[in-house]
Amino acid sequence: MSGIETVVGLAIGVVPIVVEILKSYSTAKRRLGTFSRHTDVASDILLRFQVAAANFNNDCRLLLQAVVSQPGEVSEMIGDPMHKAWQEKGEDMEKRLQSLMQQDYDLCQNIVTRLRDILRETRESLAKLEGGLNNSKQSHHEVTRKIWHAFNISRKENEYIRQLDCLDNWNKALSKLRKQRCKIQKRRTVSSSCIIRKAVPRSYQQIRAASQQLGESLHDSWSCTNSSHSGHQAKLSFEARNVNEDIQLDIVVACQTKPDGTNQRPPLDRPIWLQIRSVTSLATPKTPTLPPPKLLNTLRDKFEVKTAESPAKAKPAKSSSKKRVRFDNSGDGGSVQKPQSGSTGTTNAQSFVMLDLKTTKSVCCHLSKISSSTSSCQDGCVGYLDVSRAIPVTRFIFYDASKLAKEASSLCAPQDATPINSLVERLQILQQITLAHKLAEAVLHYHSTPWLPQAWTLQDIGYFTNAAQTTENDLSEALNSLHLNNRFPDQKSLDPETKQEVLELKHTYGIRNLTLAKLGVAMLEICAKRYITAPRLSQTPYEIIEARKLLDEKHHSIMTLGSRYLDLVRKCIHCDFSCDDDLNGEALQSAVYTEIVCALQEMKTRWEKVFGICS
């Protein structure tokens, strides 16, 4: 080929050359197939061409899968050089291929050009041989003899064998270059640009911001004058929701009493059920009228609350009794009279919608008294907390959730919350996937907040127990009461060494994101139905190392949910999402949402169809 032709060939790019190579291989195999019917020596050459074509096709398939937006089309394109996608997407593929190969793009182009030139020589030689046989009236014996001589002369002089050797060498060079570039680009963001991912729903970020601010507010503002209390623990339900751009969070506050000096377990105080609305506007805070949340339903069933008429069905209060929430730099004073901080009595006409909980002597005593009162407030509101550091200013309005859902005349003593790892071995397939999906969503909802530590385990995820829980329905109800725990006030919650420990894990053990690695471990424990997390006696992440071993060995205990589930586990443990490792960044959040949360939702939907469950 002349120098001008070479320049023109290089100018048109890699993709058109690949198309020509595919056509040349197809033509060569067809002609060799014709010759092989006359003599076996042509069959050997045909087989080698078939191997060379397969090697090239496979490498092209892998190369194109890294640069096309719909990898499913690649097989059709490789099998059909006339496929319309070559024309429609050729320019875009060329640009993405340049991004992938970068400084090696010219080298890649030279290799495929050399392959094309060799195949042109082969195509011309076969065409001459085919033409020479067709243009002469020769006997079958004479045709066979000419074909035999064409393919059976010495190895050094046989042009077809020489061309095949060249094809093999350049195919290997192309394959090696492809592997190197894909490996180099695997961790770079440029690779993620070739992947179509879904945007994380806006509610995820809103829930995380609200839970972060709520946790900080409880730490900063909680007060208790009850000398019998040694501490307090809030249990935040997984089931957060967006209500008219305001976030609704459901928590249960448990008061921990001091030991009385005996070996007997101290009695538990009545839990305080709260529904919290984060308001970032000046709109009137309306009493929630949605159905009670799943956590509250579960708790109500556990504690045997008697059924009464829902406030949503009661007669609406007069408009004159409603009070507007106004954010004012001068404070919350004004014409609206607030109850005195020492007064916590409740009547049917009283509302604490304008009570700043920070002004009470004891937030704990105030909430406990209202919760245990048989008479409810007119709107269920028990007070509010402002988060002045938030932009825009956020107000958390606290409601007595038990009175919002159903008026309770009596409550039984609550049963203990139990870590979910004690329930894992009893879960069936659909429940396992449901739990994994809930955990993945919770990571995006609550990471980097006081509710979910980076080094979390299944021991940190609780559910409410029921001694009679034995059936599948009961287990499913337990999954509806999943919650996170947060002790307050707790000075140990902010550990200055945490960041250094995370960096040590990253540099020493290759743990790119500890929170996601722990999600992978939890998903593996769900699959294996056993707890692999060991007590942390040192900084060595034994559970993550053990999880890696189980994945590499493909241990039989982790194969129950299939290879696709294990692929999700592996992505989490290695933070293998072809982007950076910062979970506060949009790139990784989008990757986790698309490749983990949505994938688990799809698996859950398919299993629901298998079991005939309509979601």
pLDDT tens digits, one per residue of 449-486: 999 999 999 999 999 876 555 455 678 788 888 999 98
Compute the distance between CA of residue 248 and CA of residue 276 in angstroms, rounded to an integer. Answer: 6
Q: Identify whether 453 is preceded by a cis peptide bond (ω within 30 of 0).
A: no
Q: Does position 299 have pLDDT exceeding 50, yes or no?
A: no
Chain segment 150-193, per-residue pLDDT in tens: 555 544 446 667 777 888 888 888 888 888 887 776 644 444 44
Task: Please indicate, yes or no, if residue 313 is contained in any of the structural domains.
Answer: no
Among the three residues 169, 192, 215, which one is the final residue of a domain in this structure? Answer: 192
- Across 259-268, 357-366, 517-526, the highest mean pLDDT is recorded for 517-526
Q: Is residue 316 part of a domain?
A: no
Q: What is the pLDDT of residue 53?
A: 81
Mean pLDDT is lowest, of 302-311, 331-340, 404-413, 484-493, for 331-340
pLDDT bin (cut points 50, 70, 90) of residue 96 is confident
Task: Using the CB atoms, write b or e for 258-268: b if 16+ within 10 Å.
Answer: eeeeeeeeeee
377 and 524 inside one domain: no
- 468-506 CB burial, b ≥16 within 10 A, e <16: ebeeeeebebbbbbbbbbbbbeeeeeeeeeeeeebeebe
Residue 615 lies in a domain: no
Cβ(392)–Cβ(283) under 8 Å? no
User: Which range has the worst mean pLDDT, 122-131, 259-268, 402-411, 436-445?
Assistant: 402-411
Please report whether residue 315 resides in a domain.
Answer: no
Residue 542 and residue 606 in one domain: yes
| Residue 75: band (very low, low, confident or very high) from pLDDT cuts 50, 70, 90 | confident
Q: Are residues 374 and 434 in the same domain?
A: no
Instruction: Please identify, among 380, 405, 430, the residue that sits at the C-terminal boundary of a domain.
Output: 405
Residue ending a domain, among 373, 405, 437, is 405
Instruction: Single out the residue of 60, 268, 97 nearest to residue 175, CA to CA.
Output: 60
CA separation for the pair 288, 552 (Å, rounded): 50
- The answer to whether position 297 is within a domain reads yes
475, 517: one domain: yes
Q: Report whether the peptide linkage leading into residue 541 is cis, meaning its omega lies within 30 degrees of zero.
A: no
pLDDT of residue 320: 37
Quick check: helix, strand or coil at residue 253?
strand
Tell me, letter by letter, the H, E, C secondary structure of 378-428: CCCEEEEEEECCCCCCEEEEEEEHHHHHCCCCCCCCCCCEEEHHHCHHHCC
What contacts 280, CB < 8 A, 6 or more positions away? 245, 246, 390, 392, 393, 394, 395
H/E segment holding residue 525: helix 514-528
Bridge partners of residue 367, in order along the sequence: none
Same domain for 392 and 300?
yes
Q: Are residues 399 and 435 in the same domain?
A: no
Is the pTM value of this prediction over 0.75? no
Please check whether residues 61 and 114 belong to one and the same domain.
Answer: yes
pLDDT (tens digit per residue) in 16-71: 998 888 888 887 777 766 665 545 555 667 677 778 888 888 888 888 877 776 66
In tens, the pLDDT along 104-137 reads 888 888 999 888 888 888 777 766 665 555 555 5
Do 468 and 325 share a structural domain? Answer: no
| Same domain, residue pair 153 and 278 | no
| Under 8 Å between Cβ of 118 and 167 | yes
- CA dihedral of residues 449, 452, 454, 455 (deg, nearest 10): 160
- Tally of CA atoms within 13 A in the half-sphere of 504 that contains its CB: 9
What HEC string does 108-166 produce? HHHHHHHHHHHHHHHHHHHHHHHHHHHCCCCCHHHHHHHHHHHHHCCCCCCHHHHHHHH
Average pLDDT in the chain: 75
Give SS3 for 278: strand
Q: Is residue 197 part of a domain?
A: no
User: Quick check: 354 and 360 in contact, CB under 8 A?
Assistant: no
Q: Assess whether 163 and 282 both reside in one domain.
A: no
Residue 476's closest CA among 600, 297, 321?
A: 297
Q: Do the Cβ atoms of 234 and 486 come closer than 8 Å?
A: yes
Residue 411 lies in a domain: no
Burial annotation 418-447 (CB, 10 A radius, 16+ → b, else e): ebbbebbeebeebbbbbbbbbbbbbbbbbb
DSSP assignment letter at 337: P
By the 8 A CB rule, do 17 and 9 touch?
yes
Q: Which domain holds residue 591?
A: 418-482+491-610
Q: Count up the domains in the chain and report the number.
A: 3
Are both 423 and 515 inside the same structural domain? yes
CATH number (domain holding residue 596): 1.10.510
Residue 127 CB partners (closer than 8 Å, separation 6+): 31
Report how far residue 584's alpha carbon sits from residue 598's, in angstroms, rounded to the nearest whole number.
19
Q: Which helix (H) or strand (E) holds 277?
A: strand 272-279
Both 161 and 225 in a single domain?
Answer: no
Query: Does the residue 410 lie in any domain?
Result: no
Distance CA 587, CA 147 (A): 60
326 pLDDT above the threshold of 90: no
